Structure 1
């Protein structure tokens, strides 16, 4: 359709509160406030409703990012509609609206904010990267389960007064330590059965974690080879962290500056200013918490392996260690963006 003709079409704004079993929808036009209704969670049924009641309208839709993903968004875009997936925290609520929440009110608020032009969509990943993200998050779940079952095993030993030999009392569980656990004997067979069950679960998670980690690295080496090896050239960033950056942050070239990227990851400071008084609040609570934690952990490794990072860390020695490592993480983030944008592998010891 011609652009000039499209600009003069009546406009329809649809706010949707999406749930698994039903959607609460509010439709408003550029002239009227519209109405709310419930419908099954089927994008094609909403398309049929719009075609029947609002033909020849320029349609815009918006809904909150959540458990239902981006399927509806992709369907709406295939219909030729403008579709936004928004962060729930970005939807402005006036006065008493902060204390009243229903699905209908949420749909009305989304429609109102969409109509007023105050909504901005999050970046919706392409399907390939979205499915890669699911594998990375599965690995993260396995890591949590792995740590949990190790804690349960140690808790059982502590409860029954079994002392772990000093050579095994660390975070690395060697095969020798595992065989030692297998050979443990208790007064009655029930405690032994409990430990055997936990050891079977431990070995299952260990094997699955290794499998998923290998699949993740192999996929990124094949499909994102250039960026994967660029990221791995940076001290502190190994294969798994590189996979996390590629899956969770997408193509870093979309970020205009380090400030933009740091704000997204959550390594930017919060600031409170009133008159002549300005106070720094520490790192912002709004963050991509998973990737932020990976960058903080990677920073410790970078300090050990890169003299430039080590010198930067020593320059701040004497301050709060937590604050120093956040500074290092911010520097590592800046380095990561520079390497991807310049496409030049990092050289250890070269100041960048």
Structure 2
């Protein structure tokens, strides 16, 4: 064994098996076979690879199996990365796909430096993101349960005279309404019960999230982002939990590209063609960003709802948030005056809003922000 040799390893990971291929320096790619996904099998694989070279570089595709394999290999001293599946080079016309071929392709792409790695959060950040995603899923389930009840009532000609906003009056009306048919009434009660269960779940998760966020390492960023217009606790927690460490983006354009809000392009020769946004990256974070950008259609101002969120925040962050509001409100008016479609204008505002989020987030981590209880929605 050459002590200076590098072993390139490609891992095609599935729920119960991992197909392993490797190459030593510039040699031929060999298939090591399949192993189980148990910790013992992974430890044996690490020992076997170390017998073939001093430096071991391994990679596998990001997928439903998460980052446990990555963390275990790193703990074994293996230089492991997780690559983006959509950015792996593919030959035109290639129609055969097997685990063996995928592992070999990963080895060759890793050795050539053609793979794009994804960001792997720390264990703490991933745990907080799981809690934030559970809360987002519960709120989406609540929205769907409410929509099912509205559809049920509409199909039977039942209409609420006032605004059906799920406020006290609306809920009181629902509690008193009844159908003549016992079977239909039973279905109605089950729809209402489903909504009550989802409301209770959302409240439990919200309490847990507000307690956990105070101890989170990126809590200063959550506080700082709430000084911006259109970004309340829901948006701030969702954005930061998905983005993670903003310092990994060296320039705001990288964050914009990661969020998928940069224009697509197909240019050739002297012709340059730009299309709609790429919609690459994290769809949930992009959704939150665009929703926040809609608030910049109105004139710049600091509302009574925003004022409590400014308390205890350094002046440098508040001033930066005000600069963002002035610039983005002006940008929307300018685009609207030019006759741009409202959706196009809002996405353009969202793109620049991402740049301000990058700037304020990095500034918040460099300043000492107070630890305080999260403000109510």
User: TM-score when scaled to structure 2?
Assistant: 0.84
Residues paired across the two proteins, number: 336
- Please say if 1:86 is aligned against 2:83: yes
Counterpart among 163, 171, 184 of residue 159 in structure 2: 163
Equivalent pair of 2:50/2:56 in contact (CA under 8 Å): no
Q: CA RMSD in A?
A: 2.1
User: In structure 2, do the counterparts of structure 1 residues 65 and 187 end up closer, same or farther at CA, with 3 Å as the change threshold?
Assistant: same
Counterpart among 48, 65, 68 of residue 68 in structure 1: 65
Equivalent pair of 2:84/2:115 in contact (CA under 8 Å): no
Counterpart among 214, 227, 234 of residue 233 in structure 1: 227
Query: Per-residue deviation at 1:107?
Result: 1.2
Distance 1:216 1:306 in 2: 31
Question: What is the aligned partner in structure 2 of residue 350 from structure 1?
Answer: none
> 1:100-179 to 2 correspondence within 5 Å?
100-165=96-161, 167-169=162-164, 172-179=165-172
Question: What is the aligned partner in structure 2 of residue 349 from structure 1?
Answer: none
**Which ranges in structure 2 are unaligned for 5 or more consecutive residues?**
302-325, 369-377
Distance 2:212 2:298 in 1: 29
Question: What is the aligned partner in structure 2 of residue 254 from structure 1?
Answer: 248
Query: Per-residue deviation at 1:22?
Result: 1.3
Distance 1:214 1:50 in 2: 42
Distance 2:48 2:233 in 1: 52
Query: Per-residue deviation at 1:280?
Result: 0.8
Equivalent pair of 1:22/1:40 in contact (CA under 8 Å): yes
Query: Per-residue deviation at 1:44?
Result: 3.5
Equivalent pair of 2:19/2:103 in contact (CA under 8 Å): yes
Partner secondary structure for residue 237 of structure 1: coil
Distance 1:168 1:95 in 2: 55
Query: Per-residue deviation at 1:8?
Result: 5.0
Which deviations, in whole Å up to 9, do the C-alpha atoms of 1:226-269 show, x marking residues without a partner?
A: 22211111111111111112211012122111111100111111
> 1:1-352 to 2 correspondence within 5 Å?
8-30=3-25, 31-52=27-48, 55=51, 57=53, 58-97=55-94, 99-165=95-161, 167-169=162-164, 172-223=165-216, 224-304=218-298, 306-307=300-301, 308=326, 309-317=328-336, 318-343=339-364
Distance 2:271 2:240 in 1: 40
Moved more, 216-225 or 58-67: 216-225
Query: Per-residue deviation at 1:219?
Result: 2.1
Question: What is the aligned partner in structure 2 of residue 3 from structure 1?
Answer: none
Distance 2:281 2:113 in 1: 24
Distance 1:256 1:199 in 2: 49
Distance 1:240 1:50 in 2: 42
**Which ranges in structure 1 are unaligned for 5 or more consecutive residues?**
1-5, 346-352
Partner secondary structure for residue 262 of structure 1: helix
Query: Per-residue deviation at 1:225?
Result: 3.3
Equivalent pair of 1:253/1:341 in contact (CA under 8 Å): yes
Distance 1:310 1:79 in 2: 52
Equivalent pair of 1:129/1:247 in contact (CA under 8 Å): yes
User: In structure 2, do the counterparts of structure 1 residues 222 and 33 end up closer, same or farther at CA, with 3 Å as the change threshold?
Assistant: closer
User: In structure 2, do the counterparts of structure 1 residues 156 and 54 end up closer, same or farther at CA, with 3 Å as the change threshold?
Assistant: same
